[in-house]
Amino acid sequence: MNSMIVKTYFNIFLLLFLMQSVLAQKVEVYQRPVQIERSRDFDAIHYKVTLNLDIEKKMLTGENLVTISPLNDNFDKCVLDAEYLVVSKVINENGKSLPFEQKENQVFIKLLKSYSHNDTIRFAVKYSLSKPVPGLLFIDSTATNPKMVSSDCWPDKARQWIPCYDYPNDKVTNEMIVTVDKKYKVLSNGRLIKVNDNKNEGTVTYHWNQDLPHSTYLINLSIADYAVINDSLGSLSVNYWVYKWLKEDAKTTFRKTPYMISFYNKLYNYNYPWAKYDQVITSYMGGGAEATSATLLGEGIVMDTLAEKDYSKEGIIAHEIAHQWWGDLITLRSWEHNWLNESFATYSDYLYTRFDKGEDAGAFDLLGKKNRYLSEAKNRYLRPIVFNRYNSPADNFDSHAYPKGACILHLLRYILGDDTFFRALSTFLHQNAFKPVDTHDFMKTVKEVSGKNTDWFFEQYLFRPGHPVFEVNKSWNETTKKLKLIILQKQDTVSGVPVYTIPINIGFVFSDNKIVKEIWLKNKVETIEFEFTSEPLLVRFDEGNFLLKECTFRIPLKELLYQAEHDDMIGRLSAVDELKSFSNEKSTLLIWSTLATQDPFWAVRQAALENVGRYLGKNAIELFKTCLKDENSKVRQSAIHILGDLENPQLIKLFERTFKTESSYAVRAESLRSIGKCGGKQQLVLLKKAAAIKSYSNVISKASTEAIDLILKK
């Protein structure tokens, strides 16, 4: 009895401790309500939506001809989601009016008889919308965009302009028949059936048919006086709907779209599943939003060839294309499983980057994803990737769902091996095409394809929060010729973060070869010994960079200098950073100076250059000038920024010359800021002229304003 009392008090104490730990997070994610998958009593089969839009008055009248099948017998009432829109009448397929009541963002429709689960029911809902709503935006024309209508159905806003069942666990085919003033073009999902010119009314009617099922949040309606650029991938129609004045730049921006689709076709061994692929720009968003066969993208996606060197959005384009498989073909069943959409699309855009731009560019992209997650984990909160606590679905669309999940897929790929991993992904797509899915569906497929029980992996990485935090110490015994590693997992496990069971590669580099040994970590502290004939020149923890982790591994100066020159790109980049602990050493300054001009990858050159700027400053002016000739604009931008920070008026001519001769918008803008740091009122004439120069996102004009402010404050 006493032992039970002690156990009870211990459990209470542990619960209170857990709650205190959770509450200490800057965002209290565990205070959010638990959400469950929505139940339904019918299967939506088809929506035939007919709309007549008055874009000038920002209103519409509509009808949705609904086809459904009951999931159970004695079905005599149908409830549809309907927010903002006003239902005026409901008519069955025999033309008889059906009683209905609209309340609490739904319309309750009383059927004239009871139906069984074998029946198919059709009825038409007539309605109107008298003002713009978040789900269907009527956007006025500005200096940068034409008048337009743009849908935003994610995550549950289709109901604001279409009475429907609006939750992703049901998929439906749909038609969109839309009448507008003849000066506009209309885009929606699926195949364009026909366009009718209604000459007497001065209108035009577009009829689109999405004949393969998808979730309602993936419906797209985009209307404007667009220019349409036609492209293709074999017989697949690929089109770009853009503002007329962006037509030429858009050809450059979207030119790789067929190439990206072809890459994913082969990668996932599943050909693009929809009737066509359109990309349409809109003014209301910054990034992109997938919709079946018709992706929406912010207008800033379109840029000229010069801007692409600095601000390319190619990753966003690749990400949204990947959603045509991951999110549209297979779709999360409920919002806690959003990683099935976002992690897979994010990992896909990494895979595309690696394929198109090389191993180093891919590795740097994945490193950026890791760091975005780690920033959120340290500064905001930890949560499981599969997480059913949220106020709205948007709460879960964060750096856990996007980059963390992508990194976890990368680790799973290592554990399974490339062949098994990609066969599992392809099998999952084929088994679940046009269906809603959840995480357990994916887990089941991985087991079936690999033959391995990977529950331990998913339990740690998807259903529990956090990531491993390692402290690694090594020592070499010259007498015994043994190298000892002590590996400590330091993560705080109180809030549910596990002590990880995980495989990891240790690399040992010698003068004539490299040895890689895989070990499995299972305990909080592991001590492992390796025997070699001589001490390794470099010991690499997580050879191959497969883990999402934090790691402290202090190695001596000599080893860091070797790593900075000889390791893979991630290792070199890490060594450049770790060498800051030895910033007073001449050998450190020398290796930084060497790498700033000679490393094969731009990010290492840039990191080395910035360290030289931080620790050598005015003593390395010639190096900074040399780096102004680097082939990569990001390195040149760092060089001009460092030179500006020296506040040396003698460099003004160099900044002015760089501004006039540079092709990069970013470097030209940085040149202006450097003029502001070093110059006086005599430079105001140049700066004011620069303010009138057109550039992507007005970066040059903004930089000139900053520079003018700096000078006037002196």
Residue 25: band (very low, low, confident or very high) from pLDDT cuts 50, 70, 90? low
What burial class does residue 194 get, using C-beta atoms within 10 Å of its C-beta: 0-12 exposed, 13-18 middle, 19+ buried?
A: exposed
What pLDDT digit, counting tens, does each position of 114-128 carry? 999 999 999 999 999
Are 162 and 64 within 8 A, CB to CB? yes
Q: How far apart are CA 536 and CA 43, in angstroms?
A: 64
Are 126 and 87 within 8 A, CB to CB? yes
DSSP-H helix ranges across 270-358? 305-311, 314-322, 339-357
Find the mean pLDDT for residues 31-59.
97
User: In angstroms, what CA-CA distances link 300 with 4, 274, 317, 696?
Assistant: 64, 26, 12, 9
Find the mean pLDDT for residues 225-239.
98
- Return the pLDDT at 26: 79
Find the mean pLDDT for residues 476-483.
97
Amino acid at 358: G
Q: Where are the domains of the chain?
A: 2-31, 42-133+158-223, 330-461, 467-554
Find the mean pLDDT for residues 55-65.
97
Are 260 and 295 within 8 A, CB to CB? no
Please determine, for residue 416, whether its predicted confidence score (pLDDT) is greater than 60.
Answer: yes
Are 641 and 611 within 8 A, CB to CB? no
| Domains 42-133+158-223 and 467-554 equal at CATH topology level | yes
DSSP code string of 479-536: TTTEEEEEEEE----TTSPPPPPEEEEEEEE-SS-EEEEEEEE-SSEEEEEEE-SS--
Mean pLDDT of the residues in the chain: 95
What pLDDT digit, counting tens, does each position of 141-195 carry? 999 999 999 999 999 999 999 999 999 999 999 999 999 999 999 999 999 999 9
Find the mean pLDDT for residues 311-325.
97
**Domain 467-554: assigned CATH number:** 2.60.40.1840
**Domain 42-133+158-223: assigned CATH number:** 2.60.40.1730
HEC profile of 4-36: HHHHHHHHHHHHHHHHHHHHCCCCCHHHCCECC
What pLDDT digit, counting tens, does each position of 540-571 carry? 999 999 999 999 999 999 999 999 999 999 99
What burial class does residue 285 get, using C-beta atoms within 10 Å of its C-beta: 0-12 exposed, 13-18 middle, 19+ buried?
A: middle
Positive or negative torsion for Cα 365, 366, 367, 369: positive
* 5-14, 109-118, 231-240: least confidently modelled range: 5-14
* 26-35, 361-370, 660-669: least confidently modelled range: 26-35
Please determine, for residue 1, whether its predicted confidence score (pLDDT) is greater than 60.
Answer: no
Q: How far out from the chain centre does Cα 168 lie?
A: 20
User: In angstroms, what CA-CA distances link 444 with 411, 440, 447, 453?
Assistant: 18, 6, 5, 9
- Return the pLDDT at 8: 36
What pLDDT digit, counting tens, does each position of 378-399 carry? 999 999 999 999 999 999 999 9
- Return the pLDDT at 452: 97
Please determine, for residue 249, whether its predicted confidence score (pLDDT) is greater than 50.
Answer: yes
Going by DSSP bridges, is the β-strand pair 502-509/482-489 parallel, antiparallel, or unpaired?
unpaired
- Return the pLDDT at 27: 84
- Return the pLDDT at 409: 98
In this structure, CATH architecture of domain 330-461: Orthogonal Bundle (1.10)
